[in-house]
């Protein structure tokens, strides 16, 4: 039995291992330009992509790399004007670089899922399809204002969830809501839209190449972690320059990595109290 799945459900595989709570990471709350962060009441970036990739997450526990690959599709579509779709081979290469060096899709060997921070470090150091991220920062998923601001600034958010068997049927209906049932396991998804609605669907996610809404109750009980992955295309945007304290980001990046931060500081990189 896999450590990330209590049950193997044909056609929908999980693949997220718990994060190390003691691992030093960048925190989004420290680098936002204002607190609470301003953001639109609603945002929807997901409708701009119509061909979300499954990336064989129906057979293997590569949900984390699949979510990262779909984030590239989204970011290049909304910021570069031309969608780039990572290949299946590139997704499997990221899966191997994320702690599964012996993964073999022909035999299923080495299919051990990912830990989110380890995978995002691999995206920064090794890249996906020849493109490296600049940094990654952890989001406080208990603060929905921060979650929504992250989606507004970066276009997406990578999430870790603890799914229960109820979510298998709920995926077909298009809405994940908390319903006590048997534990299923850890899963990584891509968030890219929110409504701020107090009931029904609020944050929408991409999972198994489908868009599914999530309720705030599901969020409070079953979303365990969130991350922004800073792709190069994001840095020059107005929302990044206005929403992020770039000087603080560079300082925290250097404190964490020992290397100077790669982000240009402009007039917008000043914290607003």
Question: What are the start-end ranges of the H helices in the chain?
Answer: 28-31, 63-75, 88-97, 116-125, 144-154, 166-173, 216-222, 238-243, 246-257
Mean pLDDT, all residues of the chain: 93
Q: 237 pLDDT exceeds 90?
A: yes
With cut-offs at 50, 70 and 90, classify the pLDDT of residue 2.
low
What is the tens place of the pLDDT at every residue in 48-102?
Answer: 999 999 999 999 999 999 999 999 999 999 998 899 999 999 999 999 999 999 9
CA distance 123 to 134: 9
Residue 269: pLDDT band by 50, 70, 90 thresholds? very low
Percent of the chain predicted with pLDDT > 70 = 96
Q: Which CATH fold would you assign to the domain 29-257?
A: Cathepsin B; Chain A (3.90.70)
pTM value surpassing 0.85 = yes
Vertex 51: Cα angle to 49 and 102 (nearest 5): 115
Residue 235 has pLDDT above 60, yes or no: yes
């Amino acid at each position: 039995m896999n450590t990330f799945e209590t049950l193997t459900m044909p056609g929908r595989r999980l693949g997220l291992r718990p994060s190390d709570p003691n691992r030093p990471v960048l925190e989004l709350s420290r680098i936002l330009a204002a607190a609470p962060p301003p953001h639109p009441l609603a945002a929807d970036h997901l409708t701009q992509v119509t061909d979300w990739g499954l990336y064989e997450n129906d057979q293997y526990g590569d949900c984390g790399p699949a979510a990262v690959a779909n984030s590239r599709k989204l970011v290049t579509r909304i910021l570069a004007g031309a969608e780039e779709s990572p290949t299946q081979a590139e997704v499997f290469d990221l899966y191997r670089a994320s702690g599964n060096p012996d993964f073999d899709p022909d035999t299923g060997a080495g299919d051990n899922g990912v830990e989110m921070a380890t995978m995002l470090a691999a995206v920064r150091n090794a890249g996906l399809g020849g493109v490296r991220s600049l940094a990654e920062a952890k989001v406080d998923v208990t603060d929905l204002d921060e979650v929504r601001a992250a989606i507004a600034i970066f276009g997406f958010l990578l999430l870790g969830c603890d799914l229960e068997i109820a979510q298998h049927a709920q995926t077909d209906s298009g809405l994940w809501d908390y319903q006590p049932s048997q534990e299923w396991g850890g899963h990584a998804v891509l968030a890219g839209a929110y409504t701020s609605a107090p009931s029904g669907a609020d944050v929408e996610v991409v999972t198994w190449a489908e868009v599914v809404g999530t309720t705030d109750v599901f969020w409070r009980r079953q979303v365990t972690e969130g991350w922004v992955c800073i792709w190069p295309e994001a840095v020059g945007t107005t929302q990044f320059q206005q929403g992020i304290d770039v000087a603080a980001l560079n300082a925290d990046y250097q404190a964490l990595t020992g290397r100077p931060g790669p982000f240009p500081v402009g007039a917008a990189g000043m914290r607003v109290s």
